[in-house]
């Protein structure tokens, strides 16, 4: 069995009566969303799904070509998980902060869903406090990375001076979500990972920029707002940057009635990565199983210049734990590379070893599972 760790822990929980019912956090979740949740729970026992950010939108040498994917170009198969970014949607812009047209994002979400793939969305929303200041009064551009004030989260909660503005941003987000429907007009289930990497201080919602209570309140308000708008097709992923303990990981955790997935981001920045990833996966997956939540290494990437990273570093550690999926970040389009007579390969050669492993799951591996249980449904 691939996950003796998982089976041993689950058996222990059952014997001690400590298991919770396997269910989505939203009691009104759609049938397809419940099916996705349970399918992902079961797939964690079989292997780790591979995800890639913006894989369907562009690659190193191409930009928005129908049905194209760097992963598919390299392996002949799509990623199981397709990641998309919604930053700047809240400003009413046509394109995201990565210059991707939102209508094209919606189009590719529908296409990947139709293939049987899984969708995850992130949201690098701008700083709602400083975006209203005159340019000469700003310390930096009012992006997600503007950490010039520790009052931002407080300002958008109920009674805050920017609460009305924040509601208007949630309304724009809702308008986009409302368009994510299948050919029959049913809402497409997806994973939403807002306010990510909370344990770091890269974004205005970071650990030292908001109290634990404020961060949890921001989460609860957002989820409640979207549920009241009628969205019951969302699985919510709680997310941190690297942490060194469960206590640090759960700082600001909004609650099991809000969250469906425990995830974290960790890039390989040096030799310490192996031990740090191993440790974090240990306590995060144990906690997730006990709470009956899904898991993910929601962002990762290789150490620069390291060969065989996929099969010799990442995969051996992931294989020890019930990790639902791992996602690597986008391949930034490079015009010069695109015009080169010998364009670079999108992945390192060792990625094929990762792909060929029975411990990894790509689109073809999960299509049989019919994760939304749509086959035969009228």
User: Do 138 and 209 contact (CB within 8 A), yes or no?
Assistant: no
Q: Where are the domains of the chain?
A: 4-367
Per-residue pLDDT at 1 = 40
Across residues 188-194, what is the average pLDDT? 98
**Tokens 């009566």, residue located:** 17
Give the Cβ contact number of residue 41 at 10 Å.
Answer: 18
**What pTM, to 2 d.p., does this model score?**
0.94
C-alpha to C-alpha distance for 44 and 46, rounded to whole angstroms: 5
SS3 369: coil
CA terminus-to-terminus distance, the chain: 36
User: Do 233 and 190 contact (CB within 8 A), yes or no?
Assistant: yes
CATH number of 4-367: 3.20.20.80
Kindly report, residue by residue over 60-94, the tens digit of the pLDDT.
999 999 999 999 999 999 999 999 999 999 999 99
Name the more confident of 135 and 105.
Answer: 105
Per-residue pLDDT at 136 = 86
Per-residue pLDDT at 198 = 97
Average pLDDT along the chain: 94
**Tokens 């002949």, residue located:** 76
The answer, yes or no, to whether residue 5 has pLDDT greater than 80, is no
């Amino acid at each position: 069995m691939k996950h003796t760790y998982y089976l041993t822990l689950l058996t222990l929980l059952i014997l001690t009566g400590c298991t919770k019912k396997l269910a989505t956090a939203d009691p009104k979740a759609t049938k397809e969303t419940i099916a996705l949740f349970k399918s992902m729970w079961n797939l964690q026992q079989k292997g780790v799904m591979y995800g890639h950010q913006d894989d369907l939108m562009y690659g190193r040498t191409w930009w928005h070509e129908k049905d194209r994917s760097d992963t598919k170009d390299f392996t002949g198969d799509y990623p199981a998980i397709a990641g998309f970014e919604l930053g700047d949607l809240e400003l009413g812009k046509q394109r995201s902060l990565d210059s991707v047209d939102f209508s094209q994002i919606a189009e590719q979400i529908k296409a990947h869903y139709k293939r049987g793939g899984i969708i995850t969305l992130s949201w690098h929303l701008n700083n709602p406090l400083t975006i209203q200041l005159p340019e000469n009064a700003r310390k930096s551009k009012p992006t997600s990375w503007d950490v010039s004030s520790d009052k931002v989260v407080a300002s958008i909660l109920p009674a805050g001076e920017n609460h009305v503005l924040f509601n208007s941003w949630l309304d724009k987000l809702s308008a986009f979500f409302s368009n994510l429907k299948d050919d029959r007009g049913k809402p497409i289930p997806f994973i939403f990972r807002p306010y990510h990497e909370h344990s770091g201080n890269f974004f205005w919602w970071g650990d030292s920029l908001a109290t634990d209570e404020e961060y949890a309140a921001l989460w609860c308000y957002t989820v409640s707002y979207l549920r009241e708008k009628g969205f019951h097709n969302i699985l919510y992923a709680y997310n941190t940057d690297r942490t060194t303990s469960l206590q640090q990981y759960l700082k600001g955790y909004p609650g099991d009635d809000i969250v469906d997935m425990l995830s974290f981001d960790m890039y390989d920045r040096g030799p310490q990565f192996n031990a740090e990833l191993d440790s974090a996966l240990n306590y995060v997956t144990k906690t997730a199983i006990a709470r009956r939540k899904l898991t993910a290494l929601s962002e990762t990437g290789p150490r620069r210049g390291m060969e065989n990273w996929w099969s010799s570093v990442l995969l051996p550690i992931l294989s020890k734990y019930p990790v639902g999926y791992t996602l690597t970040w986008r391949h930034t389009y490079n015009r010069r590379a695109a015009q080169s007579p010998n364009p670079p390969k999108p992945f390192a050669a060792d990625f094929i070893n990762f792909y060929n492993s029975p411990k990894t799951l790509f689109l073809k591996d999960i299509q049989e599972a019919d994760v939304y249980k749509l086959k035969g449904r009228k």
